[in-house]
């Protein structure tokens, strides 16, 4: 990827490439004097944007997004949907994916099979162990484990407002006394829950982007003998002590380190 683009979040790079594709398509249409329908114009923009994205070296999954963005825009406009619908949809998406732009960690949920596999890594002592889900999403991991092994105490930290609110209500309305979730970032040193020294098991299902930083935090803060589990995403240069391949829809793998 060209050096100036490397410094930008991928979403901004993708948007800039869309603008470049639009400008170039517009120039091409003007110079050639051809008349094109809005959909053909949008398809040309999409093709160019996808090509630019490929050469800019963005992750592969950006290609279909870049290809379909302008045609989808034209198709949606043709449907004459009232603008309020877009505003409401935008606000809901903003509340769910609030921090994704910064963190590059979207919301997607662990499967029931992962929840059950995690049970096997909880200390079986009745001494009140502590577990944290870093980026706890809708709170499914926490509430499942709190039911399955009520001797433990389960914490979550979630930065996106709507998933946080959902999980908070789920915990309160479900009457889970051994569970709590906090709104904030896992990198916030002022948030007491984010100090990993207090946990016996630390679980994270994030994305490849924060794994190196998370590993440094885990190494610095976790106590010897405690367990760090990453679902699916490896830590560069650090082989796990154990892996568990899940037979679920995402083909998740649990990577386990004993600190």
Ligand X SMILES: C[S@@+](CC[C@H](N)C(=O)[O-])C[C@H]1O[C@@H](n2cnc3c(N)ncnc32)[C@H](O)[C@@H]1O
Query: How many angstroms separate the Cα of 169 from the Cα of each of 119, 121, 146?
Result: 23, 27, 15
Nearer Cβ to ligand X, position 21 or 179?
179
Nearer Cβ to ligand X, position 17 or 186?
186
Nearer Cβ to ligand X, position 47 or 109?
109
Nearer Cβ to ligand X, position 186 or 211?
186
Q: Is 253 in the site for ligand X (CB under 6 A)?
A: no
CB of 165 to ligand X, least distance (A): 12
CB of 107 to ligand X, least distance (A): 4
Q: Give the CA angle between residues 112, 108, 103 to the nearest 5°.
A: 140
By CB under 6 A, name the one of 157, 171, 193, 244 that touches ligand X: 157
- Round to the nearest angstrom and report the end-to-end CA distance of the chain: 36
Q: Is 171 in the site for ligand X (CB under 6 A)?
A: no
Asked if 50 and 67 touch (Cβ cutoff 8 Å), the reply is yes
Nearer Cβ to ligand X, position 41 or 203?
203
Long-range contacts of 11-19 (CB under 8 A, 24+ apart): 11/101, 13/56, 13/58, 14/53, 14/58, 14/62, 14/65, 14/66, 17/49, 17/52, 17/53, 17/56, 17/66, 18/45, 18/49, 18/66, 18/69, 18/70
Q: Is 103 in the site for ligand X (CB under 6 A)?
A: yes
CA separation for the pair 214, 258 (Å, rounded)? 15
Q: Is 186 in the site for ligand X (CB under 6 A)?
A: yes
Q: Is 206 in the site for ligand X (CB under 6 A)?
A: yes
* Site residues, ligand X (CB under 6 A): 99, 103, 105, 107-110, 133, 135-137, 140-141, 157-160, 163, 185-187, 205-206
């Amino acid at each position: 990827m060209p050096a100036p683009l490397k410094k930008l979040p991928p979403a901004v790079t993708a948007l800039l490439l869309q603008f470049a594709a639009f400008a170039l398509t517009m120039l091409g249409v003007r110079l050639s004097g051809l008349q094109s329908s809005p959909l053909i114009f949008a398809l040309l923009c999409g093709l160019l944007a996808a090509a630019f994205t490929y050469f800019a070296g963005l992750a592969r999954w950006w290609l279909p997004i870049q290809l379909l963005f302008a045609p989808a825009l034209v198709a949606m406009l043709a449907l004459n949907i009232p603008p309020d619908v877009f505003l409401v949809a935008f606000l809901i998406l903003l509340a769910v994916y609030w921090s994704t732009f910064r963190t590059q960690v979207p919301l997607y949920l662990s499967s029931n099979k992962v929840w059950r596999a995690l049970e096997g890594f909880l200390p079986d002592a009745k001494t009140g162990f502590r577990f944290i889900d870093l980026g706890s999403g809708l709170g499914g991991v926490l509430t499942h484990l709190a039911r399955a092994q009520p001797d433990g105490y389960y914490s979550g930290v979630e930065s996106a407002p709507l998933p946080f609110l959902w999980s908070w209500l789920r915990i309160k309305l479900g009457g889970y006394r051994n569970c709590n979730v906090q709104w904030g970032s896992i990198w916030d040193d002022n948030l007491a829950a984010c100090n990993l020294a207090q946990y016996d098991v630390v679980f994270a299902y994030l994305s490849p982007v924060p794994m190196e930083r998370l590993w440094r935090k885990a190494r610095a803060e976790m106590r010897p003998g405690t367990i760090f589990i990453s679902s699916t995403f490896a830590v560069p240069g650090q082989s796990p002590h154990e892996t568990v391949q899940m037979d679920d829809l995402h083909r998740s793998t649990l990577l386990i380190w004993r600190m």
